Amino acid sequence: MIYRSHILICNGTGCVSSKAPAIMEKLQELLAANGIEKEVKIVKTGCFGLCEKGPILVIYPEGATYCRVSVDDVEEIVNEHLIKGRIVKRLLLGDPNVEDVSKSRDNVGFFAKQVRVALRNCGVINPENIEEYIARDGYAALAKAVTEMTPAEVIAEVKKSDIRGRGGAGFPTGMKWQFAAQQVSDQKYVCCNADEGDPGAFMDRSILEGDPHSVLEAMAIAGYAIGANQGYIYVRAEYPIAVQRLNIAIKQAREYGLLGKNIFGTDFNFDIEIRLGAGAFVCGEETALMTSIEGKRGEPRTRPPFPAVKGLWEKPTILNNVETYANIPMIILKGADWFSSIGTEKSKGTKVFAIGGKINNTGLVEIPMGTTLREVIYDIGGGIPNGKKFKAAQTGGPSGGCIPASHLDTPIDYDNLIALGSMMGSGGLIVMDEDTCMVDIAKFFLEFTVDESCGKCPPCRVGTKRMYEILDRITQGKGEEGDIEKLEILAESIKQGALCGLGQTAPNPILSTLRYFRDEYEAHVKEKKCPAGVCKAMLNFEIIADKCKGCSLCAKKCPVGAISGEIKKPFVISKEKCIKCGVCMESCKFAAIVKK
């Protein structure tokens, strides 16, 4: 069937939450009411990346991108755009006055600097329809691998591309595959890490939701390369949409003979099962993940033996991250040389980042390695909202660190980020402004690791708890002389003594904030002050007598009756009664209340 128009509507988590399904229903209803439901096709796609401006829909052939669409806008879109052929300028993303509407978003910095490899199909195809994937060269890489290449040639190509793992540590993928291929065993496994534990990252989720077949295809290629016929995808239970789309994709791939027995008429067999996580961060660690797939408590094991030798059920196993896999079909199809032409000397290709926090354009971006943080935050991210000042960017989640303004011009790659005391991690990038207290942030991450430590090894179980207690004390205004030094000593011993990556990297948030923001720690400990005004215990609200008009509004708003005074005379806040909720400051019309 041929349609005169296609409406692509984002069905990623962000847009679903901002009511994309209701918009779709309304669209269907109005298309039918106008009798054009057979002329216009609605396509549910994955994430376009710019969740901040969601729900987003794109109408072809014009290529008009509409943003922040609400259910009430649908009627106008149908009547104007679809029936009368007039663009609804008020909803266009970017410059509404360009001649060619498909270009309206081109000078939106958010899109201009991106290079989409892993996200090539996200927001372009319907993830629930395998034919749309195939139409975009889907499964051509698998066909090429199994019919034209030997397993050794596949591995050689991946090695030559120099792709490094996108899940955190950046281990060379080709090398990992080669180790596993060299093992002699009756059974091997290919696993996909879709646990996405970094709280503040959602690129794996978007790939699974927007382009699940790319992961299935890559896993089959990996299976062919190492000699495995069974794959497992370990997904967080918190990602129901991703699980549902994966299930659909697996079913379709089996129906098309792209998974199962005798793939492309060869004697290569490969199938994939999904396993759900159950909310344990440590299960993102490779050995813990495999114990969890086995149905046990997800505790890590000591390495060696490495999973490539003894992994799942003691069989040689490779584990790669979702984004790593999403790159593989492109490497096989377009070649290692093409891939390694993107990026820096030691980090090839692109990286997807989930940018969030205090930034204008929150969302998902894919950039060539070597792009600077400044470009990501200002050109793509649109800078910091409300005229506030940038303070730090956090990468690497609970294993990473905070990068200050003085290093904004560093090109992003694996090695540079480690040199700065952070790490690439899986790609969460949280921007913090002047209102963020760095001690509080360090405490936030430590609370996370204390919670998530599996308890198997004492340096992590006990050590992180001690560090948390010290940080807690400091943020309560009870820091003691010598606390900072104690933190440093503890951090070093935990780094060296912990069993797995969780413990070994747990001190990073403290070490990096100490490295760049030591003065903030010192202000907390020595002067009992929180310079960012976050740590409540050290905060005092005061009324500036000169500015106070004595209107009594604050006294009325105060939930504990801590403010008193006479009308038309300056009011005062009782320090004993004040619970530091900040309501008075928000309510004052004369900016007469300050926190110190």
Partner 1 sequence: MSCGCCCTDNKSQELDKIIAKYKDSRGALITVLHEAQEVYGYLPLSVQKRIAEGLNVPLSEVYGVVTFYTQFFLNPKGKYKINVCLGTACYVKGAGQIYDKISEILKIKGGECTPDGLFSLDACRCVGACGLAPVVMINDEVYGRLVADDVPAILQKYIDQEAELAKA
Nearer to partner 1, 454 or 474 (CB): 454
Helices vs strands, H then E, count in the chain: 23, 17
Among residues 319, 424, 454, 555, the one that binds ligand FMN under rule CB under 6 A: 319
* Binding region for ligand FMN (CB under 6 A) out of 378-386, 436-444, 496-504, 533-541: 496-504
Binding of residue 436 to partner 1 (CB under 8 A): yes
Binding of residue 502 to ligand FMN (CB under 6 A): yes
Nearer to ligand FES, 13 or 371 (CB): 13
Contact predicate 165/83, CB 8 Å: no
Contact predicate 121/214, CB 8 Å: yes
Q: What 3-state class would DSSP assign to 589?
A: coil
Q: Nearest approach, Cβ of 195 to ligand FMN (angstroms)?
A: 4
Binding of residue 501 to ligand FMN (CB under 6 A): yes
Q: Nearest approach, Cβ of 202 to ligand FES (angstroms)?
A: 6
If you search the block for the tokens 């497992």, which residue do you land on?
A: 232
Whose CA is closest to 564, among 577, 581, 546?
Answer: 577
C-beta atoms surrounding 33 within 10 Å: 11
**Within its chain, how far is the Cα of 53 from the centroid?**
17
Binding site for ligand FES (CB under 6 A): 199-200
Taking CA atoms, 5 is separated from 39, 63, 357, in Å, by: 7, 10, 37
Among residues 29, 75, 137, 238, the one that binds partner 1 under rule CB under 8 A: 238
Which residue of this chain has its Cβ atom nearest to ligand FES in the complex? 200
Binding of residue 10 to partner 1 (CB under 8 A): no
Binding of residue 426 to ligand FMN (CB under 6 A): yes
* Binding region for ligand FMN (CB under 6 A) out of 37-45, 189-197, 455-463, 585-593: 189-197
* Burial letters 399-413, b for 16+ CB under 10 A, else e: bbbbbbeebbebbbb
Contact predicate 52/362, CB 8 Å: yes
What six digits make up the tokens of 362? 């929150």
Binding of residue 440 to ligand FMN (CB under 6 A): no
The one of ligand FES, partner 1, ligand FMN, none whose footprint includes residue 414, by CB under 5 to 8 A per kind, is: none
Look up residue 306 and give its DSSP letter: P
Binding of residue 45 to partner 1 (CB under 8 A): no
In the region spanning residues 196 to 235, those forming contacts with ligand FMN, defined by CB under 6 A, are: 196-197
* Binding region for ligand FMN (CB under 6 A) out of 80-88, 386-394, 497-505, 523-531: 497-505
Binding of residue 280 to partner 1 (CB under 8 A): yes
Q: What 3-state class would DSSP assign to 540?
A: coil
Tell me whether residue 378 is exposed, middle or buried, using C-beta atoms within 10 angstroms of its C-beta: 0 to 12, 13 to 18, 19 or more: middle
Nearer to partner 1, 132 or 452 (CB): 452
Which stretch of DSSP H or E encloses residue 389? none
| Residue 100 CB contacts under 8 Å (≥ 6 apart), including other chains | none
Binding of residue 240 to partner 1 (CB under 8 A): yes
Binding of residue 275 to partner 1 (CB under 8 A): yes
Site string for partner 1, 340-359 (x = CB under 8 A): --------------x-xxx-
Q: Nearest approach, Cβ of 305 to ligand FES (angstroms)?
A: 35
Left (φ > 0), alpha (ψ -120 to 50) or beta: where does 354 sit?
beta
Residues that bind ligand FMN (CB under 6 A): 165-169, 171, 173, 193, 195-197, 282, 284-286, 319-321, 324, 426, 500-502
